[in-house]
Amino acid sequence: MGKQFSFNNLKAFWKFISGNVVWMAGTPNPTSWSDGLIDAINNTRNQLFVSDLAVVIKDKYPKAQYHFLVIPWKDIDSVYDLSSEDVVLLQDMYELGSRAANTSRLPDEQFEYGYHMKPSMRRLHLHVISKDYHSPCLSHRYHWNAFNTNFFIKHDYVVKKLQEKGCIDRTSQHNIMKLLETSLVCNQCSYAPKSFKDLKLHLKEHVEFGKAI
């Protein structure tokens, strides 16, 4: 299973493993680590696609060959701050994310769209990520489980719940950590690696030898 770590709180945990966008090239260092996304989207050099409601940037530390973030201009911290009134916003974010995914020339079904149950940074952001998970920035088992367990809340699920009940229920910190400690399993076949290193090598084989996703 590899070395285990202990953290006083999830914020400390995320600062350790996230390798997420802290700030982008040419953007002043954010006054707060968790505010890095807000600074990043205001730099036009980072903007891939823009609408009146949201903007797409590349994740600076991509966890796959293609990894984009779609971020609203509206100041919304996370999925837990959404209401049924934000469904139109989420649909716009999805459409922007799909445009970004199309630049890869991969079929759309080879991408995942979703939000982290406990995001590492402020401002709601939709992850648009290719299913290969082949990247040097995927460097810890928690990175993998953050995208390949229910910790990763699918976009369609969020929209459905907002339409049905107008909010997204929170999950306890205990259950969040249980998800992140889930045993490793390949997302493309039934292989259950003995270690994160084995998983990385296996994912590389999927890419290099064209094993079907």
Active site residues: 125
| Rounded-to-integer distance, Cα 140 and Cα 146, Å | 10
CA triple 100-106-112, angle to 5 deg: 65
What strand order describes the sheet that includes 67-72? 49-50, 54-58, 67-72, 126-130, 111-116, 152-154
Of the candidates 142, 107, 100, the residue with the CA atom closest to the CA atom of residue 12: 142
Q: Quick one: how far is CA 95 from the chain centroid?
A: 16
- Beta-ladder partners of 112: 129
For β-strands 126-130 and 67-72, DSSP reports them as: antiparallel
Whether 113 and 94 have beta carbons less than 8 Å apart is answered as yes
Q: Which two tokens stand for residue 135?
A: 């990247």
State the amino acid at position 41 in one-letter form: I
Helix, strand, coil in percent for the chain, rounding step 5? 40, 15, 45
- Beta-ladder partners of 54: 72
